[in-house]
Amino acid sequence: MIQFKNRFSILDKMVLNSVQRDAVLYTGGPELVFAGAGTGKTRVLTAKIAYLIDSGIAPGHIFAATFTNKAAREMRSRVESLIGIPVNGLWIGTFHSLCARILRMEGRAISYDSAFTIYDSDDQLSLIKKVLKSLDIDDRSITARQAAGLISRYKNRCMTVEEVEKMAKGFYEQEISRIYKQYQKLLREQQAMDFDDLLSNTVFLFRHNSELLQRYQRLFKYVLVDEYQDTNTAQFLIIKELCALHGNIFAVGDDDQSIYGWRGAQIDNILYFENVFPNTRVFKLEQNYRSCRTILNFANAVIADNEKRTQKQLWTERNEGEAVQVCRYRDDRQEALAIAEKITNSVKGKIRGGDVAVLFRTNAQSRVFEEAFRRSRIPYILVGGISFYERAEIKDCLAYLRLLVNPRDDLSFDRIYNVPARGLGEKAREQLADYAKKSSLSMLQGLLNVDVAALGSRYQKGFSELKSIFELLIDLCNNGTPVEKILNEMLQLTGYLDILNKEKTEESLGRLENVNELLNAIAIWSRDNPDKKLSDFLEEVSLVSDIDSWEKKENAVNLMTLHCAKGLEFKHVYLVGLEDGIIPSKQNFDDESKIEEERRLLYVGITRAMEKLECSHVDQRWRFGVLLPGVPSRFLQSLPKSYFDYKDESISFGQINPSVEKKAAMRSKVSQQVQSPSEMPGYEDFSQETVEFRMGQYVRHKSYGRGRILSISGFGDDMKLTVLFNDGVRRKLMAKFANLEN
């Protein structure tokens, strides 16, 4: 009896309801836990890991896959707190980080060194643009982004180049096949993998090396997977292979929160789990600890219209709470101003800005709210904007460091060979590239081996300087110099900091602060990881996401997309832009499965709210310089009115000049004459990525070549850019007419 009590002592430290406890204690084979929003999914996963370790399973025999690095860190910390000792050896992290770990150790089996570089999405696009140029493919017929999307889809399905070549029908598919083949060739030559490669290469590794697979099957006695509804084909195959020997899989997820179909997630993985893993024990977590009853009733009513789902009903012991509000506004500007006023009134009370979130379908919707918040002096944080490690100056620094780990990384070399400017333009690069190609060397290897005088007197000074810099940095790296000292030395040798200091502009000072912050981050990382190397730091950086680095700020209101909000919670939530064409997206009107995913996306947004939820739609929205009519989302229209209070606030807030309103109406009328509703562009066609530039961004001009954006003024048709080109000349350009490329 005493032994029985000790066995459960770990669980007694956590407050678990009966269903949660049963799920944790079950060890009879495959297990699927349907964990509804706010039902304690993380608590159950944490308790399961702690219970397994406490029962005698060594941490090194547990494989726990999460979908964010932040979740992995929090889970590890909680487990250690529960059991009272460090869980050294525990395999816990994102699928990408766990697969990267395997590939670092086993990559030679598929001809990869342990020091391979991980390319992010920007790197991927840059490399694909090179492929398009080398294959003489017009980027107006196939853009780099289109090619990247299709290649990602192939990799998520674990389709090889050869398989894609065989199935290619018609000119377009054959061209994509050519791009895919050349892209993979360059990746291998540069000893690089993109994010999708981390998964698909792990699958190929297991498929073609049965002895290695069996070793990992014996190693991992238990496989735990978070957010199982968002797994793609590659992730599913990895899980299936690892579980084939023991059958001990613990999957946690919620089909009602499957929102990543557009990037390869397969909802069928969770819906048909029992078919793949026979004798599965199923648990349903339906008690919600987050939201009040009115919000849950609203959420249940929305998701009930989906047919492809497991039946479940969230409930709570919390109070009834405020009624859900559905508000009508005249236009998107009024919507933003009204919500800004409401938030201002809220934060005057007991609610902090950090407890409030404004959620929207696309990044482009953030602009009017940012303007309204600045006008109302409301501090805010935009989640999902340019992340720290995507800033141009940070990528410059990291490119230098990446080359020290992987000298075959030509993409990183192309980024920094003339950064800071040292008189080396495109022709200079071509000179070096010719030598490197003839010698079967990478660009950096070519630079280190060539007699720079042979590259031409015009380029001798610049190349000599760059060669000396890398020779010194390589020596430091080989001698085991700490990472922060290597970066400091690079900044001194290149004069990078001096240039930023001399500019004395707001932009340069901001960039200087970012570089200093990178130095701080490396110093802290080195202190916390004394046994790790530069390659380890670069891997961690390459796998970080926006949500990983997001921290709730006490007084700052949170602006983010619905996708970014998944897994988070806020006391007050404003769901904006609930119109047909936005949510659901117009692009998905003809596909019922995608309509259901859009409904799940709305459901995710609703279930972020704890105490107060307001949804809003507008009569007309500014798009493409005209006011276009808005129709309330079909998801709202299908709901019985008993689930919310409807308020028409189109007159109450933000009265505008009648003459302005008249002109806007005339524009709208003209627009409707030109474009029928069915011909109107979908909201997704007007993404932030296609219409906005950012300071520090690298661009290419057909006449002036490559350059970097120093400053931006104005917006829309009046936007002006100041660009520093590689020839050292600053030019002011009208963004509308410049035809700049990334």
- 466 residue type, one letter: L
| 39 vs 487: CA distance, rounded Å | 45
> Does the pLDDT at position 222 exceed 60?
yes
**Catalytic: 348?**
no
**Catalytic: 217?**
no
**Catalytic: 46?**
no
Please say whether the beta carbons of 653 and 632 come within 8 A. no
3-state secondary structure 321-348: CCCCEEEEEEEHHHHHHHHHHHHHHHHC
In which region does residue 739 sit, left (phi positive, over 0), alpha (psi from -120 to 50) or beta (all else)? left
Cis peptide before 59 (omega within 30 of 0): no
Query: How high is the pLDDT of residue 241?
Result: 96
Catalytic-role residue among 13, 21, 42, 536: 42
**Catalytic: 227?**
yes
Q: How many CA atoms lie within 13 A of 444 on its CB side?
A: 25
Per-residue b/e over 205-225, b at no fewer than 16 CB within 10 Å?
bbeeeeeebeebbeebbbbbb
Catalytic-role residue among 194, 226, 256, 580: 226
pLDDT digits (tens, 9 = 90+) for 109-144: 999 999 999 998 889 999 999 999 999 998 778 899
> Does the pLDDT at position 193 exceed 70?
yes
**Catalytic: 437?**
no
Q: What is the largest CA-CA distance in the chain?
A: 87
- The per-residue DSSP string of 243-295 comes to HTTT--EEEEE-GGG---GGGT--THHHHTHHHHSTT-EEEEE-B-SSS-HHH
Query: How high is the pLDDT of residue 684?
Result: 32
Please say whether the beta carbons of 417 and 396 come within 8 A. no
Q: In this structure, what are the phi and psi dihedrals at residue 631, rounded to the nearest 5 degrees?
A: -120, 130
pLDDT band at 662 (very low <50, low <70, confident <90, very high): very low
> Does the pLDDT at position 669 exceed 70?
no
Query: How high is the pLDDT of residue 306?
Result: 94
pLDDT band at 653 (very low <50, low <70, confident <90, very high): low
- 298 residue type, one letter: F
pLDDT digits (tens, 9 = 90+) for 267-297: 999 999 999 999 999 999 999 999 999 999 9
Catalytic-role residue among 20, 31, 39, 41: 41
10 Å CB burial of residue 305 (0-12, 13-18, 19+) is middle
pLDDT digits (tens, 9 = 90+) for 479-535: 888 888 999 999 999 998 888 888 777 777 788 888 888 888 888 888 888 888 888
Query: How high is the pLDDT of residue 547?
Result: 61
pLDDT band at 674 (very low <50, low <70, confident <90, very high): very low
Catalytic-role residue among 608, 623, 634, 708: 608
Query: How high is the pLDDT of residue 625?
Result: 59
In which region does residue 696 sit, left (phi positive, over 0), alpha (psi from -120 to 50) or beta (all else)? left
**Catalytic: 155?**
no
Query: How high is the pLDDT of residue 673?
Result: 33
Query: How high is the pLDDT of residue 683?
Result: 30
pLDDT digits (tens, 9 = 90+) for 347-367: 877 788 899 999 999 887 888
Catalytic-role residue among 123, 227, 569, 619: 227
> Does the pLDDT at position 716 exceed 60?
no
> Does the pLDDT at position 450 exceed 80?
yes
Query: How high is the pLDDT of residue 720?
Result: 74
> Does the pLDDT at position 46 exceed 80?
yes
Three-state SS for 622? strand
| 309 vs 599: CA distance, rounded Å | 12
Query: How high is the pLDDT of residue 718?
Result: 59
User: Would you give the DSSP letter of residue 681?
Assistant: P
Query: How high is the pLDDT of residue 470?
Result: 94
Query: How high is the pLDDT of residue 546?
Result: 56
Provide the pairing of β-strand 645-648 with 705-713.
Answer: unpaired
Catalytic-role residue among 257, 294, 365, 722: 257
